[in-house]
Structure formats: C-alpha cells, structure tokens
Amino acid sequence: MNPTDIIAPLHGDLPASDDWLMSLKTPCYVYDPSVVLARFAALRQRLATSLIVSLKANPNLDLLIRCGHAFVDGIELASQGELDLVAGRIHAPKYVNNPSMDEPFMRAALASRCIFIIDSLEQAQRLIQVVGQQPPPQTVLRLNACELVGMEAHLADHFGMSRHDVLLTAKALAHAHIPVMGLHVFAGSHHFRLDNSGADAADLAHALAAFAPKVAHVTGKPITFLNLGGGFTEHSDSQEATFDTYRQRLASLLPSFTLAHESGRAIFASAGTFVTRIRAVKVLGERYVAICDGGLSHNFLLARTESLLKKYAQPRLLRQRKASADDQQRPIQFVGSTCSRADVIGWQHQACAAPDAGDLVIFENCGAYHQSYSVSGFLSHKPAHSYIHQS
C-alpha cells in the first residue's frame, strides 16, 4: 500500500443506495470489518476448532486494527512486513511460515515470541544457529500433503517435508533443546473437500495424527497440536452438511490433540469491494468497451490471467443517469487502463444501455488477495486507495 494513500473511515448515516460511492477516489477497495468478524465467527463455529487467520489474504492495517481483537487463536504471518504490522497490536499467538525465511526475519520473529512453522531440515538448522543461547521458540513441523497421504499428482506442491525429513528435523531440534509442539499439513487453496476421489481433508488430519507418535518418540515429548491447514473457499457457508460430517470425522482426535485450521479467503473475501470509474466508452463490433481507471495493476485477479478458462466477473454498474429507451443495447466489456491485452477485468454479457464516462463499476467479493496479490508497479500506477465502511 502506498503510504501516502489515506485509509479513511466513512462516518455518518449512509443512504440505502450506493450513491455514496461516487465520492470515493478510484480505483479503490472498500472493506467492511463487520463482515470479517461475522465470517470468522461463523467458520470457527462450523469447525469447532481453533482458527488461525492468514494475514496474507488481507494485510490492510486499518482493517486489522478493527478486527484483530477477535482473532484469539492466532495469526499466520508469511513475511517480516506482515510481522511488523502485527507487532505490538496482536497478543494472540503468532505463527511465522515461510520456506525462505532469512536470519533477520528469524531474529524479528524470535523477538516477537512467534511460533515457527518449519518447512525443511535446512531451515531448522538455520534457526538453531540463530537461537544460540536465547530462549528457544516453539516449533511446528510441516509435512508435504502428497508425501503424507499419497494425494493425486496434480495436487503436489513444494511445501513441507517428507516423513523421513520430519523425523531428522525433529531430532535436530530436540538435540538443540528447541521444542516441537506440533505438526502442520496443508493441501492448498480451494482443496477442502470430503469425497471418495482420494485422500480428503479428514484423511489428512488422521494421517497427521497417526504420524505424531513417531515424532514424539524422536523428541521424547508428546505432540499435542495439529494444524490442519484449510483450503476453505469464500462459499464455505453453503457447505453446512460437509462441515457436520467433517466435525464427526475429527471427533476421535480431540481427546489427544488440540486441532487448528487456517483461513484467509473464507474470512476476508466477501468483506471487500473493488470500485473503479469509467473514463471512456467506445463501440467495437457488437459490444461496448468501458475503459476504467482501475485494472490488472490494481486488481490482478480480476484479469484471470492465471486461469485456463477465463470466467470474468460480472460487476454492478452505478450510473450517473438513467438509461434511455432510445439507448442501443449491447454487451459491455470492462477493461483496465494498461497497454496489456490481458487487462480485461469484467463482462456484462446481457445486452444493456451504454455506460457513461464517470459511472462506477463495482466488483464484489474482492476482500481476499485481490489487493495484496496485485502488482501496482506496471506503468508506474499508484496503488488503489482503501476505505473502511462499517455496514
């Protein structure tokens, strides 16, 4: 976020319409803390476990200040920048998790009494050197999901360790008198599921629990904490029956372990709106092209450049004037302000009246990753503005 951008709360009673959005500087994100708090509480209740918040999904400081008090089970941090945001503000457990963690990051995390999620034997050895004679931190060892349960090859990633390397790492940490409190596994974003197509989320949990005694045998201390990752989508509130079954399948683990999950997307996604203003409109073929002041430089995910099948979002239009019956009806393609042909951020496929310059284009469900995953340096564009609006 550009430090010159002001994150300003919107005060006062707002009208039921969206007209208040017209006064915002665009492109911008509008975040609602009440939605974050409600989504966090609902997901935590569905899981009936601890719920650690992944700050990388939305590291907006103003939002964190308003919501951080609720994140009682802890926050996961993937960079020293994120640690700097929460230092002195969050008193719940802080988990640092980054395979490339360097010594300055480790020293900062030690000073903040963070819990280290260890990704490799080499990382553990580096931590041992950094700790030296200081009070040792708690550690959690991360297993690679595919190595743990033999998941499908297309779900394979490069995070975590094999069973063999976890045991070597546990031995090295125990020798250095650095406690291993738990184990971690995560199958990846959008991969929370319960089905018969292979190892699912509950299978991962039981496999992790079954491996815990082997680690305890190496360290001489019981493993009492299992971080089961997450992979919950922004639509997790529609999976009530799935969560009921999931809780039942985890019930046998509760007497022996404290269970935790992580989530960012399911908590933040629906709490954010991306707003951009139309600067120009033209006709190309059978469509209107609405050229906006915000595009992939400000919301990279809307451009769908990482998707093989591009299904663009359908935004809402906030018009300055009512459409006339005489307006010619065409679909609308919404594009950004860069010179990239990939800078298409939305479509209205149903024919409608032409928008005007100055109209607002409003994209919902942009609260998770949309702002933090965007590269604003292209064409030296300034980052999008941010606002907080309590509904």
Q: In the CATH hierarchy, which top-level class contains the domain 93-263?
A: alpha beta
Confidence of residue 22 (pLDDT cuts 50, 70, 90): very high
Q: Look at the block and give the residue holding tokens 């919301």.
A: 299
Q: What is the number of alpha carbons within 13 Å of residue 101 lying toward its C-beta? A: 30
Name the pairing type of β-strands 28-31 and 272-284.
antiparallel
In 3D, which of 375, 376, 351, 348 has the Cα closest to residue 362? 348
Report residue 314 CA to chain centroid gap.
22
Task: Summarize the confidence of residues 229-249 as an average pLDDT.
Answer: 89
pLDDT of residue 283 exceeding 50, the answer is: yes
Q: What is the pTM of this model?
A: 0.92
**For 64-78, 79-93, 194-208, which range has the lowest pLDDT when averaged over its residues?**
194-208
Calculate what percentage of the chain has a pLDDT beyond 90: 78
* Fold for the domain defined by 8-29+269-388: Lyase, Ornithine Decarboxylase; Chain A, domain 1 (2.40.37)
Q: Give the pLDDT score at 58.
A: 97
Q: Which sequence spans correspond to the domains of the chain? A: 8-29+269-388, 93-263
In eight-state DSSP terms, residue 161 is B
Give 23-47 pLDDT, tens digit per residue: 999 999 999 999 999 999 999 999 9
The residue with greater pLDDT, 307 or 163, is 163
pLDDT of residue 191 exceeding 90, the answer is: no
Distance CA 306, CA 368 (A): 16
Count helices and strands in the chain by DSSP H and E runs: 10, 17
Q: Give the pLDDT score at 11.
A: 34
Give 245-279 pLDDT, tens digit per residue: 999 999 999 999 999 999 999 999 999 999 999 99
Distance CA 4, CA 240 (A): 43
Confidence of residue 375 (pLDDT cuts 50, 70, 90): confident
Residue 132 backbone dihedrals phi, psi, to 5 degrees: 55, -120
